[in-house]
Amino acid sequence: MHMPNPDRPEFLRTWGFYAVLAGAMALLLVFAQIVGPTFETKPSIGTQIGEIAGDIKRSAWRSLLGLPQPEPEAVSPSIWSYVAIAAPVFGVLAIILSLISGVLRENWRFSVYGTSFGVAAIVFHFFWWIAVLVAGVVLLVSIIENMGDIFSF
């Protein structure tokens, strides 16, 4: 017969509770990944766009003249690249823990909440990156279209 341990609550011994924690952590990491890079210092938008346009122009001239392209600079990854990897990992972990909770017939609410948090984190993370990619493509297309206006003499 199973004797309950009075030292800790019963819900701490369920897989579903840890699934909910992992799912909540995944959602927090997704939101931190979205908001976090905005706190880093960066040059102004005009300077960034000008640098991008200048790099495109220099690269085009090098290709036209047959000159070799410069080697890319090695950039160390920031903390946000690790957060971008950890967020869906915690989402998948939440789903796996929810499945274990469901198979063991624990409280169904924990497994449903854990699965919901995990799936929401993965889906939101995916759609966020799709939105960022679309915005980047729109920005690059507008820069290329206006290249003549930027560097006209």
* Closest CA relative to residue 49, chosen from 136, 153, 152: 136
**CA quadruple 18, 107, 96, 24: dihedral sign:** negative
State pLDDT tens for residues 69-121. Answer: 778 788 777 888 888 899 999 999 999 999 999 898 888 888 899 999 999 99
In the chain, where are the structural domains located?
13-36+44-64+79-150
CA distance linking residue 133 with residue 26, whole number of Å: 21
Which positions ≥6 away from 4 have C-beta within 8 Å? Answer: 10
Higher pLDDT pick, 92 / 11: 92
Average pLDDT of span 15-43: 88
Please report the pLDDT score of residue 3 as a whole number: 62
Please report the pLDDT score of residue 34 as a whole number: 87
Q: Is the pLDDT confidence value at 43 over 90?
A: no
What pTM, to 2 d.p., does this model score? 0.67
Which positions ≥6 away from 24 have C-beta within 8 Å? Answer: 117
User: Binning pLDDT at 50, 70 and 90, where does residue 29 land?
Assistant: very high
Q: Is the pLDDT confidence value at 132 over 80?
A: yes
Q: Is the pLDDT confidence value at 4 over 70?
A: no
Q: Is the pLDDT confidence value at 8 over 80?
A: no
State pLDDT tens for residues 47-77. Answer: 887 888 888 888 888 887 888 877 878 877 7
Strand boundaries in the chain, DSSP class E: none
